[in-house]
Amino acid sequence: MGRKNDGQDGIWLSPNADRRRLRDAENARRNRAEITKALSHGQISRRDLVKMGLFTAGGTIVGIGGLSPFVRAQTIGSSSSFGGGSCSQIPTGLPPSPTFGVQPFTQPMPRFDVLVRNPNPFTFLNPSPTAQANTTQQPVDPALVGGRTGLTGPIEGRPPGAAWAHQGFAQFPPQVAVEITTKPVTTNNSYNPGVTSDLNSGINPATPIPPQFHPSFPVQNANRVWTFNGTFPPKLLQVRYGEPVLMRHHNGLTTNITNNGGFGRFTLTTHEHNAHHGAENDGFTGAYFWPNQFYDYHYPWVLAGFRSINTGATDPRAGAPDGNGGINKVPGDWRETMSTHWFHDHMFTFTDQNVYKCNAGMNNIYSSLDRGNEGLNDGVNLRLPSGTEKDYGNLDFDVNLMLSDKAWDQNGQLTMDTLQFDGFLGDQMTVNFAWKPFFNVYARRYRFRILNASVSRFFALALSDNSPFTQIANDGNLLPFTVPGLQQTDQLGIAERYDIVIDFSRYSAGQTVDLVNLQQMASGKLPGPILTVGQAVGGQSCDPAVGSFLRFKVLGPPPQQDQSLNTDNAPVALIPNPVLPTVVRQRSFVFDDRASQDQNDPITTYTGNGQWGIATENTGGTSRHRGGSALLADYGRISSQPGYGTCEEWTLQGGFGWDHPIHIHFEEGQIISRNGQAPSPAESGRKDVYRLRPSGTVVIRMQFRDWGGMYMEHCHNTMHEDNAMLLRWDLDSGTPFLSPLPTPISKPTGVTFQAPDEILPNA
């Protein structure tokens, strides 16, 4: 272990803990909330906190002055035993979230709210979308510019000019417009679940949905929760290959930086995770935009390799539903077909807070292989559980699940301790922003697209009766072969997605079975022990987010026969891995703590006392633990410049007792080995998040092609990402790119550019 246990590790106070300790914890929470608030309002910097003596050199808060609720607490190590009867507990840093006497599994789980797709983007959107950022000027609210009046800024916050123009805008003109606005939360009066009420646990979509984690919990204040379109439940985007989308994202947050309920930042940048798109549409952490601005994201939805493979679009496996039972063939490699994505805020050093405020949605991608229609039998369609009514995109038996742990204060308002630099854990489980709901199912096969949208929590999932299920996808991608007969998932790290098929035909009407979290955590640094189902549902865990969190209630036989692919028994071939060209370069990245900063740009650099960083072979070869030096985030620093059109092998190294789920933007990778061993069947497909495991090393291969610009690599424990385990890598795809690419500097009056702060040697 690199750092001693200083009291920041998981302390889970029982709601029945001695009153003085609870009172101390509440006082400490208040004091810490004041600091969090000042940080989020930009009144103080993390560096100020160090000067004030509130942080240790290691970046953790010192146990003085009522700031740490743990000063007098007994600590529980991450590998501590569960049970022992002494710790029915609550999570790190906060008093227990009240549940107001409400029983779990008493509210229906809402299906996602399907975003409206509008035809004719060029006439639907006003102003019409443009290849380069629209720099039409508008007055800037003085609140955004220190009270100065009379200033103007662009209506679009995208960096201007050719280098940030939509790549391929003329070749792939948008055919669908989606308009979304991130707003303070309010009541949803236009819920579109995309399915009938019997498939949505009886929810009547015409009934307004207030922003509550449970109908008997308080309504969330507008400044505590910020969502896409300002409402619950989370939003679902449905797209298909060959149909470019223009997503116009409006920033509808207030211009008052302090109107955030104590956490979150009003500047936004949206990452479609892990789209194969130009970097101008990738939600680069420094390309954020301001209240009253919009940002046009152009999603061409092409198959990777489209410039060199199947360029004549002759292979029906490379295609998309055409709306009439046929296939619209597209160029590219059919083995690169993707299925389950999500999109979320990526604001520099505030991603954790903004995503935690519920600024996250999901994106289902439909293809000729994965059509969202289980009835169409054309020899290409894999007929995964979905439905048959529509040509594609049936959601009847294809269900998105967004898992996230939350915490709320004594008034039931969403809250967060942003000073938990090791990682923030909530003590309450939500699915689709609903606290411990139930979901009605018919006795047939269902596909669940399960996303871990937490800040720092890992999951391991099982059914409460230990029944088997089948994994069909990992991250965005269908596996080479289904993995049937699983009784629990692998660990599901932050931002990972597992698609699983559960066959409820073994149950009869009136029976229930729960989805259970087996993954105990006592620290945001890494997952602890994985419990058995018996232990997890038996209430033996110290971790209140362990146990049943979603109850399936079986309605009985389905109204129509299940026509989906039988994935219950033997492995079935889905999508083989793409064939990778020869590796031209190897790189290593070490994810470590005790990172340092060698730059001082006030905008592009993480200026605090950073906990986490990344070492490359160019920063001394290894991490500080190994005699090298990990660097804190600076989005003006170019750490790597892989060659356009090449394949590289990257070694991602963790260790020292932490687990980092590493996300590499833009390109899917294949795991070559994990600690020298071949990956498990469930990890043998393409990935975009790689859990390193404590002391783990993962070797992956990726090719870099089709689009260019500045992308990122970071830990997706967003607390680690924001403090400051993130780097920038650039891909130079030729004209119009400059090499090096200048760094965008976002201001309400417009984005300017500056030379990179640094290009690492041999990048």
Closest CA to 41 of 291, 350, 288: 350
CA-to-CA distance for 297 and 294, rounded, in angstroms?
A: 10
Give 345 or 592: the residue with its C-beta nearer to Cu ion. 592
- Residues 507, 449 contacting (CB under 8 angstroms): no
Cis peptide before 740 (omega within 30 of 0): yes
Q: Shortest Cβ distance from residue 714 to Cu ion (Å)?
A: 8
Q: Where are the alpha helices (DSSP H) in 250-357?
A: 351-356
d(CA 320, CA 337): 10
Burial class of residue 195 (count of CB atoms within 10 Å of its CB; 0-12, 13-18, 19+): buried
Rounded to whole angstroms, how far apart are CA atoms 178 and 592? 39
3 or 720: CB nearest Cu ion: 720
- Residue 164 has a CB neighbour count (10 Å cut-off) of 25
CA distance 193 to 111: 6
SS3 label, residue 248? strand
CB count within 10 Å of CB 90 equals 28
> Minimum distance from CB of 661 to Cu ion (Å)?
7
Q: Which is nearer to Cu ion, 33 or 526 (CB)?
A: 526
Residues that bind Cu ion (CB under 5 A): 660, 715, 717, 720
CB 599 within 8 A of CB 636: yes
Nearest to 753 by CA among 658, 636, 673: 636
- 281 vs 717 by CB, closer to Cu ion: 717
Of 436 and 660, CB closest to Cu ion: 660
Q: Shortest distance, CB of residue 716 to Cu ion, whole angstroms?
A: 7
- Nearest distance, CB of residue 29 and Cu ion, angstroms: 24
> From the CB of 720, what's the least distance to Cu ion, in Å?
3
Q: Which is nearer to Cu ion, 277 or 720 (CB)?
A: 720
Within 13 Å and on the Cβ side, how many CA atoms surround 300? 23
Judged by beta carbon, residue 557 or residue 694, the one nearer Cu ion is 694
Q: Give the distance from CA 537 to its chain's centroid.
A: 27
Q: How far is the CB of 654 from Cu ion (least distance, A)?
A: 8
Q: For residues 107 and 109, what is the distance between their CA atoms, to the nearest angstrom?
A: 6
- Tokens for 229, please give them: 């379109």
Cβ atoms of 729 and 711 within 8 Å: the answer is yes
Least gap, CB of 277 to Cu ion (angstroms): 25
From the list 86, 99, 77, the residue with the least C-alpha distance to 541 is: 86
Q: How far is the CB of 46 from Cu ion (least distance, A)?
A: 17
Measured in whole angstroms, the distance separating CA 120 from the mean position of its chain's CA atoms is 30
Distances (CA, A) of 386 to 391, 447, 486, 489: 11, 7, 21, 22
First to last CA, the chain: 30
Tokens of 236: 């679902």
Backbone dihedral angles phi then psi of residue 721, each to the nearest 5 degrees: -55, -45
Shortest distance in whole angstroms from residue 423 CB to Cu ion: 8
> Residue 662 CB, nearest distance to Cu ion (Å)?
8
Least distance (Å) between residue 146 CB and Cu ion: 35
CA distance 303 to 702: 15
- What's the min distance (Å) between Cβ of 715 and Cu ion? 3
Parallel, antiparallel, or unpaired for β 477-486 and 461-463?
A: unpaired
